[in-house]
Amino acid sequence: MKSLRKFLIISAALISATASHAQFGGLGGMLGGGGGGGDVSGEVAAFIAKSQVLSGLASRSVTAINAAFSSEEESAKKRAALEAIDKITNTAEKEAKKAALYESESAETKRKLESGEMEKAIGSLSEDKKKQVTAALLNFSIGALQAVDLVKTGQSLVQKVSTNPMDIPKVVPVKDALPLLSKVGSDAGGLFAGVIKLARGAKISVPEVKSDSKPVDVTF
């Protein structure tokens, strides 16, 4: 699980940087989103770095939650999907795969929650799977908290270059990242709020997320 540990270290570092700069005007201020003209390359690079971390955090978290309610065979397929994404070297392809995985897994979470399948199974989860759910929900909440600000920053960047045709191609990766980030933020207040409520009702601890909260290792 070396790739997962490396991912978590990078996640923690970038999320900590975001939190530490919040006092200077939030993530938008950190990236210079509120400024005027000038080259946006640096701002785009900073946005993309954080977006890649958060898309990974969200897709891994929702996959781990579903795996807790899945058979061993299904869990193995989910692990294989994550491992396959880790091996992709093309950035655009990798982000597209993470977005597709998140869409698929979040739809599965919604189905399991709304059908009552999750509620029926949650009380009989093993202690290891309960810890898995706790860690995954914590990580998702950390990512979602940052996603809200990141969406605002991305929208600001896109708007910033709207009058400069030369810079428009530079923000294409930003525009590509926004749909997933927006969905993560939306799911946090809807779908995953329901999962957290269900978990707490089953006496599964779900820590409150703060600006300095760090992602934890989730294995399954």
Give residue-wise pLDDT tens across range 172-202.
999 999 999 999 999 999 999 999 999 999 9
Q: Which residues contact 35 (CB under 8 A, 6 or more apart)?
A: none
How far apart CA 212 and CA 16 sit, in angstroms, is 6
Q: Note whether 63 and 83 are within 8 A (CB).
A: no
pLDDT at 39: 79
The candidate with the shortest Cα–Cα distance to 142, out of 98, 94, 192, 104, is 192
pLDDT band for position 123 (cuts 50, 70, 90): very high
pLDDT band for position 38 (cuts 50, 70, 90): low
How far apart CA 213 and CA 135 sit, in angstroms, is 12
Q: Note whether 184 and 144 are within 8 A (CB).
A: yes
Please write the tens of the pLDDT for every residue from 149-176: 999 999 999 999 988 888 899 999 999 9
| Residue 31 vs residue 66, higher pLDDT | 66
Task: Give the three-class secondary structure for 18.
Answer: helix
- State the DSSP H helix or E strand holding residue 194, giving kind and residue range, or none if neither: helix 191-201
Q: Which two tokens stand for residue 180?
A: 């997933």
Q: Give the residue-averaged pLDDT of 118-125.
A: 96
CA distances from 190 to 54, 155, 183, 184, 186 (A): 18, 22, 10, 10, 6
Q: Note whether 10 and 55 are within 8 A (CB).
A: no
Asked if residue 140 has pLDDT above 90, the reply is yes
The candidate with the shortest Cα–Cα distance to 137, out of 212, 68, 50, is 68
What's the whole-number average pLDDT of the chain?
86
Residue carrying the six token digits 């993530």 = 27
For the chain, domain boundaries: 2-21+39-201
Q: Which two tokens stand for residue 166?
A: 């030369």
